[in-house]
């Protein structure tokens, strides 16, 4: 009888180890929860914004990259968010009507590039860790909504002014 109790305990322990191992494998094999979006032939990577200064009425949103996998050019023609009264497309700080997206190319809209989505009439301060929706409108691909992550970039910068 003592031998039977021992083998039963070993079998139970083996089952627990197997279940724990399977749980770890299931978690490890899941793809990373990226917040990339695809609309039409466009793949939009990592929407983010820098924290803003308290009381500031403006901020900016950025996109790590837009990859255009199609054969015809497209254009980003507008954007909106409930966090601001308007979103202005800008190049080197100047308003533009659209951002051209060449076929088969890619465009960087990062905080260290010349392009940005200026949030005007900001309704609250953007704080590190916050998330908010942003809707993009493309001439051919249509519309998509993505989640913007407010974060301090790896190379720390001052808040957006």
Residues 10-37 have pLDDT tens digits of 555 555 544 444 333 333 333 334 578 8
**Which residues lie across from 136 on neighbouring strands?**
79, 144
Q: Report how far residue 139's alpha carbon sits from residue 61's, in angstroms, rounded to the nearest whole number.
A: 20
Task: List, in order, residues 6 or more apart from 1 with CB less than 8 Å away.
Answer: none
Residue 153 pLDDT level (bands cut at 50, 70, 90): confident
Q: What is the pLDDT of residues 36-60, one digit of tens each?
A: 889 999 999 999 999 999 999 999 9
**pTM to 2 decimals?**
0.74
The first and second tokens of residue 137, run together, are 């409108």
Are the C-beta atoms of 46 and 84 separated by less than 8 Å? no
Q: How far apart are CA 156 and CA 17, in angstroms?
A: 44
């Amino acid at each position: 009888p003592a031998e039977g109790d021992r083998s039963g305990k070993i079998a139970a322990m083996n089952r627990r180890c197997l279940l724990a191992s399977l749980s770890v494998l299931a978690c490890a094999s899941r793809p990373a929860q990226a917040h990339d979006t695809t609309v039409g032939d466009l793949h939009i990577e990592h929407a983010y914004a820098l924290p803003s200064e308290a009381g500031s009425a403006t901020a900016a949103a950025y996109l790590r990259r837009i990859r255009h996998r199609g054969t015809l050019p497209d254009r980003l023609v507008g954007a909106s968010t409930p966090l601001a009264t308007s979103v202005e497309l800008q190049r080197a700080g100047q308003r533009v009507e659209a951002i051209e997206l060449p076929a088969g190319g890619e465009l960087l809209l990062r905080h260290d590039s010349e392009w940005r989505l200026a949030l005007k009439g900001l309704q609250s301060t953007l704080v590190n860790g916050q998330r908010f929706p942003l809707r993009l409108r493309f001439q051919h691909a249509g519309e998509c909504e993505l989640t913007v992550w407010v974060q301090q970039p790896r190379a720390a910068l001052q808040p957006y002014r």
